[in-house]
Amino acid sequence: MDLAYSSEEEAFRAEVRAFLKDKLPPDIANKVKKAKRLSKDDYYRWHNTLYQQGWVSPNWPKEFGGTGWTPAQYQIFDEENCAAGSPRIIPFGISMVGPVIIRFGSDYQKERFLPPMQSGEEFWCQGFSEPGSGSDLASLKTKAVREGDHYIVNGQKTWTTLGQFADWIFCLVRTDPEAKQQMGISMVLIDLKSEGVDMRPILTVDGEHHINEVFLDNVKVPAENLIGEENKGWDYAKFLLVNERMGIAGVGQSKADLEILKDVARLESKNGKPLIDDPLFQAKLSRLEIDLMALEYTNLRMLTSQGGGAAVGALSSYLKIRGSEIQQTLMELTMEAVGPYAAPWMPQANDAEWNGEPVGPEYAAASTSRFLDRRKTTIYGGSNEIQRNIIAKHVLNM
């Protein structure tokens, strides 16, 4: 494939930049660039802006409101959004369960769930992991028992990212306890307003409320909210996880973070000279930039293959591994560049309304918070150890 952008693609880049300059709310961009907390309204406003433009679901087929973009256009759009400071669209609806509903869902599910998912009227979260069933997802214990035209669901989900903003949750549940682990799982869609649903916050090491635990106590779920066939949920989950791991690669965000790192290295000094001129730091920065470039090209290859209908196989696992490792390295080098100013970290400073005195330069304020947040990237979406097993099995045809 040709990895150079054509004149048409560069014209598309200019179109995206003009749109962002005109439509991206400055208050939201300021929060993103300074790593401040985003509210549900912030996410909704930007989601709805993209929806009005017809750009909120570029990975959907055109007949369902997709853009029909080429892989290069999709990559350009992601890069420019991250560079401008736009928040990432919450992925659990648009990027994850939306394509599952399009591919495997009933006509009712497509009509009921896709329009409010696109407009942002209904946000979604993911109910896969459980206590004791994270990396070994197939060992999940949450049960769903069919009673007439409903399922009765009991169990617990954890690490539910941004569940506090969600209206619906898609869950993997065990519908046949006698079958082999992967063969007895189904996927259901659950209204979080249902009686018996209890969501509780989990505070992470960076002091933030990113994730939650969800308790399901005799929750009634209409049978029409079952995705596809009963006991076929593992197949749908594997389809969904390919999309999730592609998103975790985060090429656009890493390119934006790299520019921030370079700016910091120009401002910080070592032995009276800018840090970016230090040979040892230059070597680390160059190695990182080469790795990121290789990831970008690999991501474009995968998008091209997927657009042509080819199976991506274990490539999404590779992207997840390298993307998450690069994100962590970026934050490690940023901490190194910021130096001692990274130490006095105050989680309350992430509040957009906080008016306390900063410790050190403004660009150092969020460095520790971002470093701590990125520690989880090698775990979620299937830990990197599990991804290496997937790659090994694929290569060895086991």
Q: What is the pLDDT of residues 93-106, one digit of tens each?
A: 999 999 999 999 99
Asked if 186 and 230 count as a contact pair (C-beta separation under 8 A), the reply is: yes
Residue 203 per-residue DSSP state: -
Same domain? 267 vs 381: yes
Same domain? 61 vs 157: no
* Residues linked to residue 147 through DSSP beta bridges, in sequence order: 150
Residue 356, domain extent: 250-396
The whole-chain average pLDDT of the chain stands at: 90
How many CA atoms lie less than 13 Å away from 130 in the CB half-sphere? Answer: 19
248: CB partners within 8 A, 6+ apart: 319, 320, 323, 324, 377, 380, 381
Same domain? 227 vs 259: no
What pLDDT does residue 217 have? 98
Same domain? 135 vs 61: no
**Residue 239 located in a structural domain:** no
| 3-17, 114-128, 331-345, 364-378, range with greatest mean pLDDT | 114-128
For residue 113, name the pLDDT band (cuts at 50, 70, 90): very high
What pLDDT does residue 175 have? 98
Burial 176-211 (b: 16+ CB within 10 A, else e): eeeeeeeebbbbbbbbbebeebebeeeeeebbeebb
Same domain? 259 vs 208: no
Q: Which of 231, 260, 282 is the last residue of a domain?
A: 231
Mean pLDDT (whole number) for 293-322: 78
pTM over 0.75: yes
Same domain? 226 vs 254: no
Same domain? 261 vs 389: yes
Mean pLDDT (whole number) for 218-229: 98
Same domain? 224 vs 303: no
What pLDDT does residue 331 have? 94
Mean pLDDT (whole number) for 40-61: 97
Residue 76 has pLDDT above 60, yes or no: yes
**Residue 99 located in a structural domain:** no
**Residue 326 located in a structural domain:** yes
313: CB partners within 8 A, 6+ apart: 394
**Residue 201 located in a structural domain:** yes
The torsion angles phi and psi of 169, rounded to 5 degrees, stand at: -135, 135
296: CB partners within 8 A, 6+ apart: 75, 251, 255
What pLDDT does residue 261 have? 93
| Count of domains observed in the chain | 3
* Residues linked to residue 199 through DSSP beta bridges, in sequence order: 214
